[in-house]
């Protein structure tokens, strides 16, 4: 479901903006220069899906922060449309726009934006206070937000008593306290020291698994973008030059600019397990299956182990050929498959990158199961496939 749509959005600063918009596209830059205008965003087309973490990245001056502010009309576009949940922001009154910003969209800034004379709980409660929420209710919701970011015990402290990372958590809690559907984050972690920044990225991803918001995240840091994003839009000189998944951006750059931008990135950091896995059918059997049938399946497919699933198709363990044969020979009575299952197997989430997958593969000779969020097997990765992919990337 589309949450935010930008259609041919322009933002031009200067009195001659209208004349530039009406001119042929090939004349825009020369005309802007003569009129002393600045083209910050040009013909931006974006579709952001509900629940997506969409990163807009580019070098300083590329227009990414301006585009972000066009999404909630903190900066009104010169031309084009921004649509949020089906509502064209250009048609909303000033009152409706304020309600949209206060209720549906939260914003987290680079410089934290905390009020030095307010303690933590009152800083976080600010948005709810503006909305007119009662003191009892806003403190309740504020404490819930502080608990999410791990700062519940710091509610009485002031910003000057907090580290940079803690101040950024307070800023994030303030945005979360109003329970927005959309979070707009402008270089939110860039003011932090590298180690604290990495920790915040990890904690942020864990938090998103809980709160499940639509995020638009601005950064100039490629590693940060690749780590956080569902999709990335790369900007240059106000124009979006490519939109794609982290893997698409690195493996299939749209032009020389993007290619140079991502040139230093190790491809093993962006290729994920779901792009390497094979169909799992030959490696899977249900726990209710006859052990002899499972053994024959392994012989037929020339494999030494097989993953066992329950009635909901969730992974519960594995069986290897030798153990299966030994157990069947050691008992004269019928033996059910579930009593032969062992937990000595490797499994990884579908979004694990190749770099981390290699570390897992080094610990086992058996194929690796690739799992979805419900522990169901999506596919299987063998060592031979892993080596072939590594050879392609070298």
What's the confidence (pLDDT) of residue 148? 84
Q: Which of 90-104, 114-128, 306-320, 339-353 has the lowest mean pLDDT?
A: 339-353
Looking at the fold, whether 223 and 309 belong to one and the same domain comes out as no
Domain boundary among 270, 300, 335: 270
Q: Which of 14-23, 136-145, 284-293, 322-331 has the lowest mean pLDDT?
A: 322-331
**Average model confidence (pLDDT) across the chain:** 87
Q: Is the pTM of this model over 0.85?
A: no
With contact defined as beta carbons under 8 Å apart, do 271 and 292 qualify?
A: no
Looking at the fold, whether 186 and 263 belong to one and the same domain comes out as yes
Looking at the fold, whether 76 and 223 belong to one and the same domain comes out as yes
Q: Is the pLDDT of residue 39 over 90?
A: yes
Range of the domain at 313: 274-393
What's the confidence (pLDDT) of residue 1? 84
Name the percent of the chain in helix, strand, coil, to the closest 5: 45, 25, 30
List the CATH number of the domain containing 312: 3.10.580.10
Q: Which helix (H) or strand (E) holds 203?
A: helix 194-211
Q: Is the pLDDT of residue 184 over 80?
A: yes
Looking at the fold, whether 144 and 215 belong to one and the same domain comes out as yes
Examine residue 24 and state whether it is found in any structural domain, yes or no. no
With contact defined as beta carbons under 8 Å apart, do 309 and 315 qualify?
A: yes
Looking at the fold, whether 256 and 124 belong to one and the same domain comes out as yes
d(CA 267, CA 221): 16
Examine residue 153 and state whether it is found in any structural domain, yes or no. yes
Looking at the fold, whether 219 and 357 belong to one and the same domain comes out as no
Share of the chain above pLDDT 90, in %: 33
In sequence order, the 6+-apart residues with CB closer than 8 A to the CB of 41 are: 9, 10, 11, 63, 66, 67, 70, 77, 238
What's the confidence (pLDDT) of residue 109? 79
Looking at the fold, whether 297 and 251 belong to one and the same domain comes out as no
Domain boundary among 224, 253, 270: 270
Examine residue 110 and state whether it is found in any structural domain, yes or no. yes
Domain boundary among 215, 235, 270: 270
pLDDT tens-digit series, residues 152-179: 889 899 999 988 888 888 888 888 888 8
Number of domains in the chain: 2
Give 272-326 as a DSSP string: BGGGTPBP-GGGEEETTS-HHHHHHHHHHHT-SEEEEE-TTSBEEEEEEHHHHHH
pLDDT tens-digit series, residues 186-227: 888 877 777 778 878 888 888 888 888 899 999 988 888 988
Among residues 134, 108, 131, 124, which one has the least CA distance to residue 156? Answer: 124
Pairing of strands 239-244, 231-236: antiparallel
pLDDT tens-digit series, residues 307-326: 999 888 899 888 888 878 77
With contact defined as beta carbons under 8 Å apart, do 344 and 318 qualify?
A: yes
């Amino acid at each position: 479901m589309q949450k935010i749509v930008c259609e041919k959005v322009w933002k031009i600063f200067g009195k001659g903006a209208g004349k530039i918009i009406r001119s042929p596209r090939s004349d825009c830059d020369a005309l802007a220069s003569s009129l002393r205008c600045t083209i910050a965003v040009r013909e931006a087309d974006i579709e952001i899906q509900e629940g997506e973490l969409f990163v807009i990245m580019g070098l300083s001056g590329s227009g990414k922060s301006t585009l972000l502010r066009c999404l909630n009309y903190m900066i009104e576009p010169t031309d084009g449309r921004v649509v949020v949940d089906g509502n064209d922001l250009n048609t909303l009154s000033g009152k409706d726009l304020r309600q949209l910003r206060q209720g549906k969209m939260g914003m987290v800034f680079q410089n934290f934006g905390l009020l030095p004379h307010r303690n933590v709980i009152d800083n976080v409660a600010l948005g709810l206070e503006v909305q007119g929420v009662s003191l009892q209710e806003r403190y309740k919701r504020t404490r819930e937000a502080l608990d999410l970011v791990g700062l519940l015990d710091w509610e009485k402290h002031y910003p000057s008593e907090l580290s940079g990372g803690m101040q950024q958590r307070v800023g994030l809690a303030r945005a979360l306290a109003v329970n927005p559907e959309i979070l707009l984050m402008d270089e939110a972690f860039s003011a932090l020291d590298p180690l604290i920044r990495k920790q915040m990225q990890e904690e942020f991803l864990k938090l998103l698994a809980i709160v499940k918001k639509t995020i638009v995240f601005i950064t100039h840091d490629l590693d940060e973008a690749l780590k956080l994003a569902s999709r990335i839009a790369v900007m240059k000189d106000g124009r979006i030059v490519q939109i794609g998944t982290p893997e698409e951006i690195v493996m299939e750059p749209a032009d020389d600019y993007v290619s140079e931008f991502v040139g230093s990135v190790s491809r093993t950091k962006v290729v994920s397990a779901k792009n390497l896995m094979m169909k799992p059918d030959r490696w899977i059997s249900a726990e209710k299956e006859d052990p002899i049938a499972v053994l024959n399946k392994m012989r037929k497919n020339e494999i030494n182990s097989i993953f066992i699933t329950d009635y909901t198709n969730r992974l519960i363990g594995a069986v290897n050929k030798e153990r299966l044969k030994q157990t069947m020979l050691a008992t004269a009575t019928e033996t059910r498959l579930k009593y032969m299952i062992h937990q000595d197997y490797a499994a990884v989430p579908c979004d694990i990158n190749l770099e981390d997958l290699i570390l897992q593969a080094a610990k086992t000779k058996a194929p690796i199961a690739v799992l979805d969020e419900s522990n169901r097997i999506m596919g299987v990765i063998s060592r031979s496939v892993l080596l072939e992919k590594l050879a392609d990337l070298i």
